[in-house]
Structure 1
Amino acid sequence: MYAVQLTADAELCPLEPRHAAEFLAHVEKARADIVQYIPWAAVVVDESSARSFLQAYADRQAADTGRIDGIWLGGELVGGVLFRTFDLRFGTCEIGVWLNADAQGKGLITRACQVLIDWAIGERGIYRLEWKCSTDNEPSKAVARRLGLTHEGVLRAAFPVGPIRQDLEVWSLLAPDWQTRPWA
């Protein structure tokens, strides 16, 4: 297991099936703020579903097709980052994020994404990273901008969350852009 220090009191660590009870408590706290953007927030409703969700990502990590990490602030799970897709054959991946409202504004998501992007591009050879978010999700779009991603367009009514189909923004980052970013 690894832990990456994000700030003096925050760290990024693997989020594993053994964290199911803690993950469920976190989702219950964050649900109202994230459910309109993150479909799994509606299906992680008990410890069994939390464990199943985390096990699916453990299986994806074992198959090298995805992964999930948690962000702990002061010892409390407050959010996370994940590779929803990870395809070495094509050199592509999609990153996703979420965070408790009370943990926002501390740079945790931006820093955690920097760690994951450094790993994906620098160590695994990913060439294209995608970021997708609802057109209404201003905090997510702000992180994409801070990371230097390029806005590619909008997929209309492409993202069903419950009965509502949301427009989905697509952002991307290419390896050469990340490797030559001026703020590295």
Structure 2
Amino acid sequence: MFTFHISDELELRILENRHAEEVWSLVSLNREYLALWLPWVNHSIYIEHTQQYIQAELERFAKNSGFSCGIFYNQNIVGCIGVHEIDWRNKKTSIGYWIGEAYQGKGIMTNACRSMITYLFNQLRLNRVEIRACTANLKSRAIPERLGLKHEGTIRHAELIYDRYYDHEVYGVIAEEWTN
């Protein structure tokens, strides 16, 4: 399956069924932290939910319309990065990501996003990649800012997380601008 080697310590691997327990355990360990920004967390209670998610992502990968990868740091899964629905006609997509709280601040997610964007431009020949993050999620917003994506605006009330609407900041980059 798809593996993207970033460094001796870091690589992205397409999520497979065999990763379900490890992903579920990481989410469970970080449930309270992740639930602040990710509405799916409190609906993914049982390992079967993770298995169903991975199977759906494998089907999306088979249809060439997007995929999700585990982020492996020193051979352990520490988070995930996903390519949302690919618009092949317009050659664009967006990416989303999450990481266990203990692994923040090590440059893991920045390197994972940099590598994924490079892959999307160089290998899939896309023209545009977008990242959206809740306005108040400063750690998530720091990644596209650090990578030099342009802030393109704010979408008001873009996402309902439990009982509250959150605005999203939109960051984008096009292939001809990408120099990372």
Q: TM-score range by the shorter chain?
A: over 0.9
Indicate conservation of the 8 Å contact 1:6/1:108, yes or no: no
Indicate conservation of the 8 Å contact 1:15/1:68, yes or no: yes
Alpha-carbon distance between aligned partners in 2 of 1:87 and 1:43, rounded to the nearest angstrom: 28
Alpha-carbon distance between aligned partners in 2 of 1:97 and 1:18, rounded to the nearest angstrom: 20
Q: Percent identity?
A: 31
Gaps of 5+ in 1: none
Q: Cα offset for 1:2?
A: 4.2
1:63-74 to structure 2, matched below 5 A, reads: 63-74=63-74
Which residue matches 1:14?
Answer: 14
Indicate conservation of the 8 Å contact 1:80/1:109, yes or no: no
1:1-184 to structure 2, matched below 5 A, reads: 1-178=1-178, 181=179, 184=180
Gaps of 5+ in 2: none
**TM-score (normalizing by structure 1):** 0.91
Alpha-carbon distance between aligned partners in 2 of 1:147 and 1:57, rounded to the nearest angstrom: 26
**TM-score (normalizing by structure 2):** 0.93
CA RMSD of aligned residues (A): 1.4
Q: Cα offset for 1:37?
A: 1.4
Query: Secondary structure at 2:85's aligned position in 1?
Result: strand
Alpha-carbon distance between aligned partners in 2 of 1:9 and 1:128, rounded to the nearest angstrom: 28
Query: Secondary structure at 2:90's aligned position in 1?
Result: coil
| CA separation of 1:2 and 1:56: change in aligned 2, threshold 3 A | closer
| CA separation of 1:148 and 1:67: change in aligned 2, threshold 3 A | same
Alpha-carbon distance between aligned partners in 2 of 1:110 and 1:124, rounded to the nearest angstrom: 20
Amino acid at match of 1:116: M
Query: Secondary structure at 1:86's aligned position in 2?
Result: coil
User: After the TM superposition, which segments of 4 or more aligned residues of structure 1 sit over 6 Å from their partners?
Assistant: none
| CA separation of 1:28 and 1:72: change in aligned 2, threshold 3 A | same
Amino acid at match of 2:72: W
Encode CA deviations 1:74-116: one digit per residue, 9 max, x unaligned: 3321101101221212111010010111101111111111221
Amino acid at match of 1:44: S
Amino acid at match of 2:117: I
Alpha-carbon distance between aligned partners in 1 of 2:56 and 2:2, rounded to the nearest angstrom: 20
Give the total of aligned pairs. 180
Q: Cα offset for 1:11?
A: 2.4
Alpha-carbon distance between aligned partners in 1 of 2:64 and 2:43, rounded to the nearest angstrom: 24
Query: Secondary structure at 1:87's aligned position in 2?
Result: coil
Alpha-carbon distance between aligned partners in 2 of 1:159 and 1:67, rounded to the nearest angstrom: 22
